[in-house]
Amino acid sequence: MKDYVFDLIEQEKVRQKEGLELIPSENYVSAEVLEAMGSILTNKYSEGYPSFDDLDKSDKEISEEILPNYRYYGGQVNVDRIERLAIYRAMKLFHADHANVQPHSGANANEAVYYAWCEPGDKILAMNLAHGGHLTHGSPVTRSAHIWNFIAYGVREDGDIDYDELERLALAEKPKIILVGYSAFMKIPDFERVAKIGQKIGALLMADMAHVAGLIAGGVHPNPLDFGFHVMTTTTHKTLRGPRGGLILSKGKVSSPLKKPEKTLENIPTLIDRAVFPGTQGGPLEHIIAAKAVAFGEALKPEFSDYAAKIVENAKTLAEELMSRGFILQGGGTENHLILVNVEKSFGFNGKLYEKALDMVGLTLNANALPGDKAAAFRPSGVRLGTPAITTRGMGKDEMKQIAEWMEKVAKICQEVSSEDDLGSLATEFAPIREEVREMALKFPVPGI
């Protein structure tokens, strides 16, 4: 008899089918990615690495060959082939000299890069969390912040990176790493300018593109590796539509991870491999690596570029529709997949109240702090939303207009209450909107369900 866990999974399946996912860091994977994740590869222990020799081959050649490996266990012939396929496809997708597909998450990927290049106490220049950066870029609540010395740059009034501040800090502090990356930023970074700054001081140039990796793969967002960046980290979910996990891409010379190389920019790929295993992780998750390989293969297909372009088109349409209805957006719109709304300034209540109200009608997004936000972390002034998941379901401009209309209706209803505790009293007013959301959601099936 199945455990109660399976009943809860079924309930989650219904929630996903009958609602609309607007959290910009969430997406839906294909049935094939789901199948790989749920495979018997979870039974195999594979500490170490496959051989990286002659990776410039076709999928078929890699899938048939047997090469020496750097593993600590036997029985590796099939997982070696799968991991080599994942590495090969990631390199091809992102124009990299090497890829490490073993990180369990984006956080693990970032920490491995810090560990590979820096000594404890070394300086790392990264975006301020309060201005749209990520926890792993120096937030004091993380382990990384207790090991390395993070220095933060911010954004300007227009929502873009303050490149003058970034350059001033880089020249004054001489950080070992300059990091461009974010979790709530709606502009396209000027990678060329940052690369020139990094070259002046000999810093490692690192880009955390977890949010926009799928847009880069689809050719609708610039690739930092094409502008002189040495390393790019990312998650493999979000816009890339893969399993939950991390990925590190790098430029440089690839050599055996068994031999400790000199700490030079040319040797970054091998330094990173050693930092991932055994430096910061144990055995890799080969069922997840197989799912990554499947997702990378899907992203290499021409239709993925159409999907990436549609994400941006939908985001811009949704942003314009929201602004036409009185929503005040950070940066005045978006250049990628992500939108930040200043709910407090737009309607007079906090982002958490709005998040919970939208949840009641089947629209899922998340409360988010804005630059200079004085509100508490759990009661920020804004919300963050995006279009990757709803675009995966096949939605377009008409649906973006409808979503904006629902968001406006919910916002106006929310002005009737003073706190989240009072939202229950609005259930009757929310009910018709909930039915409309459900009706539209069911017209656009969730992949794999």
Instruction: Report whether 114 contacts 206 (CB < 8 A).
Output: no
Instruction: Report the distance separating Cα 157 and Cα 178, nearest Å.
Output: 22
- The torsion angles phi and psi of 52, rounded to 5 degrees, stand at -105, 10
Please report how many Cα atoms fall inside a 13 Å half-sphere around the Cα of residue 16, on the Cβ side. 19
Alpha helices in 19-58 (DSSP H): 31-37
- Buried b / exposed e over 429-448, threshold 16 CB at 10 Å, is bbeebbebbeebbeeeebbe
* Gap between the Cα atoms of 352 and 67, Å rounded: 54
Largest distance between two CA atoms of the chain? 68
Q: 164 to each of 153, 156, 193, 302, 370, how far by Cα in Å?
A: 10, 10, 10, 38, 21
Structure tokens given for 92 = 């091809």
Cα 308 from Cα 289, distance rounded (Å): 23
Q: How many degrees, rounded to 5, is the angle at CA 180 between CA 174 and CA 182?
A: 135
CA distance 212 to 187: 11
Angle between helices 77-94 and 286-299 (to 10 degrees): 40
| Residues with a known catalytic role | 45, 47, 208, 235, 238, 244
Backbone angles phi, psi at 286, to 5 degrees: -70, -25
Closest CA to 186 of 217, 165, 224, 215: 215
